Amino acid sequence: MSRASWPQFITDVFDHAAPVGASTFDVKNPATGAVLGTVADMTAADARQAVADARGAFKAWSQETAKSRTAAMMAWHDLIVAHVDELAQLLTLEMGKPLMEAKGEILHGASYITWFAEEAKRLYGDIIPTNAPGRRLMVVKQPIGVVAAITPWNFPSAMIMRKVAPAIAAGCTVVIKPAEDTPLSAVALVLLAKRAGLPDDVIKLVTCSQPAEVAKALTDHPDVRKLSFTGSTRVGKLLMRNCANTVKKVSLELGGNAPFIVFDDADLDQAADAAMLAKFRNAGQTCISANRFLVQIGVYEAFAAKLEARVAALTLGDGMAPETTVGPLINDGAVSKVESLVRHAAACGAEVRTGGYAVDGQGTFFPPTILTGGTPDLTIADTEIFGPVAALYRFKDEDEAVRVANDTPYGLASYVFTQDMGRIWRVSEALEYGMVAVNEGTVSSEAAPFGGVKESGIGREGSRYGLDEFVEIKYIGIGGLNR
C-alpha cells in the first residue's frame, strides 16, 4: 500500500506519532525492510512528565462513578471496532502478522475493554462477620494509582487493551510504553481513546527507541504504584528488581516453554488442527506457542504426517497479501536465533522434515518447519523458540510425559490431547503451568485468567481476577458500636 493511498485514519496516526519538532525514530515494515514512518523518541524525562500528568488525572478519574467509567470505555471500544480495518493494516505493516490475524487481534483486544467496562460496576467489597461485640469489619477495593504498562511487539494492540482496560475500569490512570518495533498501534489506540472522550492524561503514551532508559524511569518513579509487563523473563526480572526499590505491585507475563502433549488415545485430526493454531499463529512468536510437541510413541509417526500435510498448505509471505498465512519474523535477530536453534538440533541428529533455513532476500522470513527425532535435552527444547518451528519428541507413558513437560523453569501455557476423562484430570492437575488447554489450541480469552507460574510470571490478566491486579484491598474496622 503506498502512503498516498492510506486511509485518513492511518494518516492521522502518523501525524500524531511524530509531533512537529519532536526527535523521532524510524518504524520499519518487517516484510519489506522499508521505513513506514517516524515516531516521537521520548526520553526518561518525558516518562517522568507522563507519570506526573497521570498522577494529576488520578483523583478525578478514580472518583468518577463506575457507570461513567463504563460509558467512556464503551465509547473507546466502539471506536476501535469501527476502525478495525485500519488498525489491522497498521498492525500488519509494523509487525508483519497476516491481516486476518491482525484483525482478530484487534477484536480480541477490544473484548477486554467491554469485559472490564462491565466488571467496573461489580468491584464489590465485603462485610466480614465480626470478631467482637460492637465492632464491624469491612473491606473496600480502591484503585492502586498510576500504572506503568510495558507492552510487547508480538501483540502490539491486544496487550495494550488487556492491560489498560482493567486499570482504567478500576479507576487507575496509565502510562503505556510500547515496544520500539511497534509503537504505531499504540499511537492509534491512544488517539481513539482521546476521540472517545476519555479525559486527558488518564492514558499517557511514551514512545521511545531506548526502552531500558524509559522503563527504568517508570519503574523508579515512586508515583507509579503498579507495573504490568508482558515480555521476556530476562527483562521481567530486571523490572521486578527495579520495582522492589519502591515496593510496587507487579504483574508479569513472561516467557514460556509450552508442552503440547499428544497421547495415543487422542483424536489426531483435532490435535493436528490445534497444533497449527498453537504453533503457527503469529509465526510462532507468542508466549503461549507450543514449544515442545511431546507425542506418545504409538501415534508419533501418524501425528507427524498429519502435521506435515497441514504445514504444506501454509503460505509464507507479506501479511498484507490476502493469501499469506504466515508472516515474517520481527527482525533479523529473530531469524538468526531461530535458524541457529534448528541447525544445532539438526547437527545433534534431529531430522528437518520441512523448512529449516531462513529465506534469502527482502524481509525477515523463516519458513514453517518440522523437526522430528529430537530428544528433550536439545537446546531447542529448553529455549523459547519464538518462531514457526515444531519440534517433536517421543514419550512412552503418562509419567514420562508429565515429568518432561514439567522439566523447565517456565510454567505458562500447556496443551493436552486425550479422550480419557481420568487422564484429563490427572495430567491437568499434575502440570506445573498457569494454563492448561485440553483438546484445543488456544487459551486466550477475556473471560479467563491468563498467566503463568514459576519463571513465567506473576498475576493474571482477563476475567474477574484480572481486575484485582489493579486494586488495593483496604480493611476498615469500626469499633465502639455498642456504647
Residue among 449, 407, 459 at smallest CA distance from 430? 407
CA distance 92 to 97: 5
Give me the residues paired with residue 389 across strands: 369
CB 109 within 8 A of CB 158: yes
CB of 354 to ligand LJUCG4UG, least distance (A): 25
CB 251 within 8 A of CB 469: yes
Q: Which is nearer to ligand LJUCG4UG, 141 or 292 (CB)?
A: 292
Give me the residues paired with residue 414 across strands: 436
CB of 357 to ligand LJUCG4UG, least distance (A): 25
CA distance 240 to 320: 37
For 34, 232, 417, the CA distances from 210, given in Å and listed in that order, are 21, 17, 43
Q: Which is nearer to ligand LJUCG4UG, 53 or 440 (CB)?
A: 440
Q: Which is nearer to ligand LJUCG4UG, 75 or 287 (CB)?
A: 287
CB of 288 to ligand LJUCG4UG, least distance (A): 5
CB of 412 to ligand LJUCG4UG, least distance (A): 8
For 45, 291, 321, the CA distances from 228, given in Å and listed in that order, are 21, 25, 34
In the sheet where 389-395 sits, what is the strand order? 351-354, 369-372, 389-395, 290-296, 258-262, 413-417, 435-438
Q: Which is nearer to ligand LJUCG4UG, 155 or 433 (CB)?
A: 155
CA distance 461 to 179: 19
- Let me know if 253 is a catalytic residue: yes
Catalytic residue among 94, 119, 253, 339: 253
Q: Which residues bind ligand LJUCG4UG (CB under 6 A)?
A: 154-155, 159, 230, 286-288, 444
CB of 451 to ligand LJUCG4UG, least distance (A): 10
Q: Which is nearer to ligand LJUCG4UG, 338 or 401 (CB)?
A: 338
Which active-site residues does the annotation give? 253
